[in-house]
Amino acid sequence: MSYYNEFTANTQLRLSPFFERTSKLNESQEWRRWSGYLAATNYELTHDNEYFAIRTKAALLDITPLKKYIIEGPDAQRFLDRLVTRNIGICKVGQVMYTPWCDEDGKQIDDGTVQRLSENKFRITSAEPNLEWIQFNATGMDLSITDDSYATAALALQGPNSRAILNAVASDKLDSLKFFWLMNTTFGHTPVSISRTGYTGDLGYEIWMDLKDALTVWDLLLEKGKSYGITPTGLHALDIARIEAGLILLDVDYISSRHAIIESRKSSPYELGLGWAVKMKKKDFIGKQALEAEAARGPEWDFVGIEIQWDELEQHFRKAGLAPGLPCTAWRTSTPLFKGNEQVGYATSGAWSPILKRYISLAHVKSQFAREGSELMFELKVEHFRKFTPAKVVKTPFFDPERKRSCPV
């Protein structure tokens, strides 16, 4: 069945270098905004096939809208160590680190990856523009800062078959590329940089290339990837996958302290479940004092995974004469969590996990109620009426396959 209609339209939004391809592949013509870009919501009329591509085949996502900055110079490492909470001193050339960064009050501004491209050259990615903050904190340091966002195109290839596809396309084998490491290689004559990173919690890679090579890379991947089930994938599918992986999203799960207009909207890395990424042994970094004090008194909030319990959920719907109403896409509406009569938290994103067959969600919960196994009540609407149904604090990532980290050799 195919009824293809063609049309062209004008837009004030930025177009990715892959748009020439993605715009024709997007059969639903459903688009979302992502950092001022037009980004595909789903390519097919429903997103199921794309979601399962992430988990069973290989999904290809255009991630060009990510913000990217190149930090280069003799002081680059010293600067990044000051900027972010993780220890960049131990980050080797070719290694990648996921890290949050904070303001002086220890409240999180953004999170992203730091790639060490050479001894004195790094790439840092972020969700929102951070140039102002980066420049502001680099005064007096011997380095250059370049906003590379528009000059570098990026694709994510995620899913169990992603390695096989890259092995078929790249001039080097990727078998020994470890989780959170990167390598430079070529696709034919086209130079690319490949990091074993992603936003799905699966085996997956991100491919970084010059803007002018974007279509060549896209075409090669689709051609060689066809027999491996490569599937152009949109943000609906990605959103479910990242929740399964327990990965936070700026402006959905938290607000940048640079943009929060009231104190209560700000969160520290401890309050976002990123305490593991705060390295107190480091000499100094922005927000260290405040974070030390917070760690000493114990953070007020925690960020946890919760599972909405099936039996009670089913009963609520049964009483209304319905089968359990499950969200078919990931939701982002803040949803209250109660303990008795007291609201002790709120869930910020959630989804039905098709691979786990569990209704999962990410939530801010007051620390004393955030222990694993803690039982809370989740607000639920059944046929226009408000109900409460039990939810349990569980470990994240909800989905964590062996293949994410493993290497065949």
Partner 1 sequence: MPGVKKYDAIVIGGGHNGLTAAAYLSRAGKKVLVLERRYVLGGAAVTEEIFSGFKFSVCSYVVSLMKPNVMRELMLPKFGLELLPLESTFTPLDNDYLIRTADADETYREIARHCLRDAETYMRFGPLMGQIGMAVRPILETIAPNAIRPSLSDLSKAKKLLDHFKTLSSEQFEYLTKLMTMSSADFLDEWFEFEPLKASMSASGIIGTFMGPRSPGSAYVMLHHYMGDIDGAFRAWGFQRGGTGAVSMAIARSAEHFGAEIMTEAPVEKIIVKNGKAVGVVLENGDEYKSEMVISGLDPKLTFLKMVDESDLPSNFVTDIKNFRIRGSSGKVNLALDGLPNFTCLPGEGHHLRGAISISPSYDHLEQAYDDAKYGDFSQAPYMDIILPSVLDPEMAPPGKHVMSCFVQYAPYDIKGGWNEQKREAFGDAVVNTIARYAPNIKDIILHRQVLTPADLESTFGLTEGNIFHGELTLQQLFAMRPAVKWADYSTPIKNYYQCGSGTHPGGGITGSPGEMAAKKILGIWS
Judged by the rule CB under 8 A, the positions of this chain that interact with partner 1 are 12-14, 33, 35-36, 129-132, 135, 147, 258-259, 261, 263
Could you tell me the smallest distance in angstroms from the CB atom of residue 26 to partner 1? 19
- In DSSP notation, 147-158 reads E-TTTEEEEEEE
Nearer to partner 1, 178 or 258 (CB): 258
Could you tell me the smallest distance in angstroms from the CB atom of residue 368 to partner 1? 28
Residue 166: count other Cβ atoms within 10 Å of its Cβ.
26
Nearer to partner 1, 107 or 116 (CB): 107
Nearer to partner 1, 257 or 353 (CB): 257
Which token pair is 74? Answer: 């003799």
Residue 3 phi/psi, 5° resolution? -120, 85
**How far are the Cα atoms of 148, 161, 164, 186, 337 from residue 210, in angstroms, in the given order?**
10, 25, 23, 12, 46
- Dihedral of alpha carbons 311, 315, 316, 321, sign: positive
Which token pair is 209? Answer: 């290339």
Nearer to partner 1, 111 or 202 (CB): 111
Nearer to partner 1, 140 or 321 (CB): 140
Give one word for 298, left, alpha or beta, with left for phi > 0 and alpha for psi -120 to 50.
Answer: left
Could you tell me the smallest distance in angstroms from the CB atom of residue 15 to partner 1? 11
Nearer to partner 1, 71 or 166 (CB): 71
Could you tell me the smallest distance in angstroms from the CB atom of residue 268 to partner 1? 18
Nearer to partner 1, 39 or 291 (CB): 39
Distance CA 366, CA 299 (A): 9
Residue 326 three-state SS = coil
- Dihedral of alpha carbons 326, 61, 226, 163, sign: negative
Distance CA 56, CA 59 (A): 9
Contact assessment for residue 377 and residue 393, using Cβ atoms and an 8 Å cutoff: no
Could you tell me the smallest distance in angstroms from the CB atom of residue 249 to partner 1? 17
Contact assessment for residue 198 and residue 239, using Cβ atoms and an 8 Å cutoff: no
Could you tell me the smallest distance in angstroms from the CB atom of residue 66 to partner 1? 15
Could you tell me the smallest distance in angstroms from the CB atom of residue 69 to partner 1? 11
Contact assessment for residue 162 and residue 169, using Cβ atoms and an 8 Å cutoff: no
